[in-house]
Structure 1
Amino acid sequence: MPSQVDICNLALANLGDSATVASIDPPEGSAQAEHCARFYPIALATMLETHDWSFSTRRGALTAAPSNPSSTWSYAYVLPAGIIRPIAVLNPAAGDDYSEAFTNGMGGNYTPQPYVTEALADGTKILLTNQADAVLRYSTTVTDTAKFTPLFVEALVSLLEAKLAGPVIKGEPGRAASKAALQAHAYWVAKAKASDGGSRNVTPEAAVGWLSAR
Structure 2
Amino acid sequence: MPSDIEICNIALSRVAVTQPIASFTEHSKLAELCRTFYAQLREQVLQDFPWPFAGAHVALADVGSPAPGWRFRYRYPANCLFIRGIVSPSWRNAPTSDAEIPFQVGYDAGGRVIHTDQADASVRYTFKVEDPTHFAPLFVDALAWRLAMELALPVSSKPEYRAFCEQEYQKALTVAEGAAFRESQDGPEPESEFVAVRS
TM bin, normalised by shorter chain, reads: 0.7 to 0.9
Q: Is residue 182 of structure 1 aligned with residue 163 of structure 2?
A: no
Greater alpha carbon shift after TM alignment, 201-210 vs 115-124? 201-210
Deviation at 1:205, TM superposition (A): 4.0
Distance 1:120 1:11 in 2: 37
Distance 2:91 2:176 in 1: 28
What's the secondary structure of 1:88's corresponding residue?
strand
Does residue 127 of structure 1 match 2:114? yes
User: Counterparts of 2:92 and 2:161 in 1: how far apart (Å)?
Assistant: 46
- RMSD of equivalent CA atoms: 2.9
CA contact (8 A) 1:113 1:129 kept: no
Report the counterpart of residue 140 of structure 1 in structure 2: 127
Matched residues, number: 194
Q: Distance in 1 between matches of 2:65 and 2:23?
A: 44
Find the counterpart in structure 2 of residue 197 from structure 1. 181
Unaligned stretches of 5+ residues in structure 2:
none
1:78 counterpart residue number: 75
Q: In percent, how many aligned pairs have the same letter?
A: 29
Instruction: Deviation per CA, 1:64-113: give whole Å up to 9, x if none.
Output: 2364222x322100111242332333333443345xxxxxxxxxxxxx77
| Partner AA of 1:190 in structure 2 | T
Match for 2:123: what amino acid?
Answer: L
Residue 29 of structure 1 aligns to which amino acid in structure 2? Answer: H
Unaligned runs of 5+ in 1: 99-111
| Structure 1 counterpart of 2:105, from 86, 105, 118 | 118
CA 1:68–1:205: 2 relative to 1, 3 Å: closer
TM-score of the pair, normalised by structure 1? 0.77
1:50–1:9 Cα change, 3 Å: same
The structure with the largest alpha-carbon Rg is 1
Partner of residue 95, structure 1:
92
Amino acid at match of 2:183: S
Matched ranges for 1:1-214 at <5 A: 1-24=1-24, 27-65=25-63, 67-70=65-68, 72-97=69-94, 114-122=101-109, 124-170=111-157, 174-205=158-189
Q: Distance in 2 between matches of 1:188 and 1:83?
A: 24
For 1:23 and 1:65, locate their aligned partners in 2 and report how far apart those are by CA, in whole Å: 44
Q: Cα gap change, 1:179/1:123 in structure 2, threshold over 3 Å: closer, same or farther?
A: farther
Which residue number in structure 2 is paired with residue 103 of structure 1? none
Contact 2:80 2:128 in 1 (8 A): yes
Distance 1:142 1:187 in 2: 22
Cα separation, 2, equivalents of 1:6 and 1:140? 23
In 1, distance between residues paired with 2:19 and 2:53? Answer: 31
Distance 1:90 1:190, change over 3 A: closer
Partner of 1:102: none
